[in-house]
Amino acid sequence: MDQIQEIAKELSGKLGQEVDLPRHFGFLTHWQVIGPFDNSERKGFDTVFPPEEEINLKAAYPGKDGTEVKW
């Protein structure tokens, strides 16, 4: 990894802009999580919850114990 960082540093100087190594290597740097959903008696593993059917980042869904969960 040190070699890669040194190369990126050298390239940054030559290109005049920073090399974004995590982005270059395809690392996930932004994600969103929703939950918790009920998994009583491990039944949740076989249940399809609403966010698995659609992605609506503005929606709210019934979660575990009746609580509202949002993105």
pLDDT by residue (tens digit) across 21-35? 888 889 999 999 999
Query: Residue 13 has which token pair?
Result: 């100087």
43 and 64 both lie in a single domain: yes
Q: In terms of residue numbers, what domain contains 68? A: 32-71
36 and 21 both lie in a single domain: no
Residue 8: name the closest of 34, 17, 47 by CA: 17
In this prediction, residue 33 carries a pLDDT of 94
71 and 46 both lie in a single domain: yes
23 and 37 both lie in a single domain: no
Express each pLDDT in 10-69 by its tens digit.
877 777 788 888 888 899 999 999 999 999 999 999 999 999 999 999 999 999 999 999
15 and 49 both lie in a single domain: no
Assess whether pLDDT exceeds 90 at residue 5.
no
57 and 37 both lie in a single domain: yes
37 and 70 both lie in a single domain: yes
pTM comes to: 0.61
The number of folded domains in the chain is 2
